[in-house]
Amino acid sequence: MGINTPAEITEIWINNGVGKAKLPAGKMLVLGMMAGAFIGFGSFVFVLATSAGGDAFQGMMGKLVGAALFPVGLMLVILCGAELFTGNNLMSLALMDKKITAAQMLKNWGLVYLGNLIGSLIVAFLFAKSGLLADAAGERAIAIATAKCSIPFMPALVRGILCNILVVLACWMQAGAKDLVGKIFAIWFPIMMFVFAGFEHSIANMTYVPMGMFLGAELGIGAFVLNNLLPVTIGNIIGGACVVPFAYYYAYKK
């Protein structure tokens, strides 16, 4: 067959979790930085797409184009090889199967999250200093950053849950494909869906918000961390490490 079955995908991700847990700490950090940068590129092109062409384009059409471009970030993560915190939430499958310990999983999550943050901050600074975020694009970047830090805690958490359900499903589906084109399409549509819907991704926000801050958004680090990053990260863990893995482990492995 040209695809793996759901039961086979479950085994693939259990084994992936074991491999991720065994990575040396330095590699977790470096590959985490790469992933943060890759997702940052997706965030950057979303800002450009939704700021181009005047008011008529900045609505539904600009959002659709930005959502269609953003998935390249996760394609780079998976196909080029990097470590993304939200995708690594699927390591809970290996934990449930008793192939790794909670300490191993949390070590990976912590170092990868830190690496994602470092990589995101680097590209956010470079984007802000590139001269490509002038005028409407810069205003759009500041508006996105400000809006993200203005979401109340519970809606931000729920949007984080919904987001990472789709992100880990994209990671899940691509493991079912046995060819490059199949993996690209498996990644593309769930990620495009979450971006278009306006769900919240903690790692993407590590570029969106600092990029707006570097451009002059009147936001403090506390507002970024407490108003956005904290609830969105919790939501991402619930959606990506609990909802999807628990359901599929029960259905195809237990």
Q: Indicate yes or no: pTM above 0.75.
A: yes
pLDDT at 1: 60
* Pick from 91, 77, 79, 84: nearest CA to 115: 84
> How does residue 182 score in pLDDT terms, banded at 50, 70 and 90?
very high
Give residue-wise pLDDT tens across range 6-62: 999 999 999 999 999 999 999 999 999 999 999 999 999 999 998 876 554 556 788
Return the axis-axis angle of helices 202-214 and 25-51, rounded to nearest 10°.
60
Q: Are 62 and 50 in contact (CB under 8 A)?
A: yes
C-alpha to C-alpha distance for 254 and 251, rounded to whole angstroms? 7
C-alpha to C-alpha distance for 234 and 251, rounded to whole angstroms? 25
C-alpha to C-alpha distance for 50 and 64, rounded to whole angstroms? 9
pLDDT at 51: 86
Domains and CATH numbers, the chain: 6-252 (1.20.1080.10)
C-alpha to C-alpha distance for 32 and 114, rounded to whole angstroms? 7
Give residue-wise pLDDT tens across range 220-248: 999 999 999 999 999 999 999 999 999 99
Q: Which residues contact 39 (CB under 8 A, 6 or more apart)?
A: 73, 74, 77, 84, 116, 120, 201, 203, 204, 206, 207
* Pick from 186, 207, 158: nearest CA to 39: 207
Give residue-wise pLDDT tens across range 86-145: 999 999 999 999 999 999 999 999 999 999 999 999 999 999 999 999 888 999 999 999
Give residue-wise pLDDT tens across range 142-176: 999 999 999 999 999 999 999 999 999 999 999 99
Question: Tokens for 24?
Answer: 């040396």
pLDDT at 254: 78
Answer left, alpha or beta for residue 100, where phi above 0 means left and psi between -120 and 50 means alpha.
beta
pLDDT at 61: 81
Looking at the chain, the number of H-run helices and the number of E-run strands are: 15, 0
Which amino acid belongs to residue 112? V
Share of the chain above pLDDT 70, in %: 97
